[in-house]
Amino acid sequence: MGDLGQILMAGGWAMAPILICSAVALAIVLERCWTLRRGSVLPPGLSQEVREWARSDQLDPAHLEKLSTGSPLGELLAAAVAVRDRPRELIKERIEDTGRHVVHRMERYLNTLGTIALIGPLLGLFGTVIGLIRMFMQVMVGGMADPTKMAGGIGEALICTAAGLTVAIPAYVLHRYFRSKVAGYCVEMEKQATLLLDDLTISAPAATPRPRRAPVASAGGKAQV
């Protein structure tokens, strides 16, 4: 720990934003790992259970509220069941609208994680440039310094670049991982919502067109319907 502390201190004040970014990235990763658990997003057996409830008409407003707040999949299915008496297109539109909100919440903080992955190397490079400028300013004031000290100064300046990459690489990998995970959840939720939509609409009796009466000619020669 002592050597690590010395290395961090050698990086100068430019290490401060890099350390802040690393703390924020770690917090986001832990929070997303907990929130995006499969059992929390897609509770097993929930879709089949909701379809059975919908067939038997056992869903009251209190039940729908509990279903909506239980999980992202439950919120999507509850939105469809809440308007189950409407035409298929309106139910589908409600599912799409709710799905956009659900996806937005599942992607929460991922833009911040991606930003950290982007600016990490830039912060490291900035710290390195500042360190090199400070070293060369000292050379200009005091004349040609000891080459050994100059090499040590360059090494200390490069600490910022190494620290920035150390933060950025895992942040980028985890950002892509969470994006892929959310995309997979979206495909599965779309599949479950389509099954529920079919249950709600295909089983409903279709409206039969009213047969038209054949025109009957009246005594005046005009047709009557």
Does the pLDDT value for residue 220 go beyond 70?
A: no
**Window from 110-124, 127-141, 196-210 with minimum mean pLDDT:** 196-210
Pairing of strands 223-224, 216-217: antiparallel
All structural domains of the chain with their residue ranges? 15-122+166-201
Local confidence band at 141 (pLDDT 50, 70, 90 cut-offs): low
Question: Which residues, at least 6 apart from 62, have a Cβ–Cβ distance to it below 8 Å?
Answer: none
* pLDDT at residue 144, as a whole number: 57
User: Of 35, 63, 69, 65, which Cα lies nearest the Cα of 49?
Assistant: 63
Q: What is the pLDDT of residues 123-138, one digit of tens each?
A: 988 888 887 877 777 6
The DSSP H or E segment spanning 185 is: helix 147-201
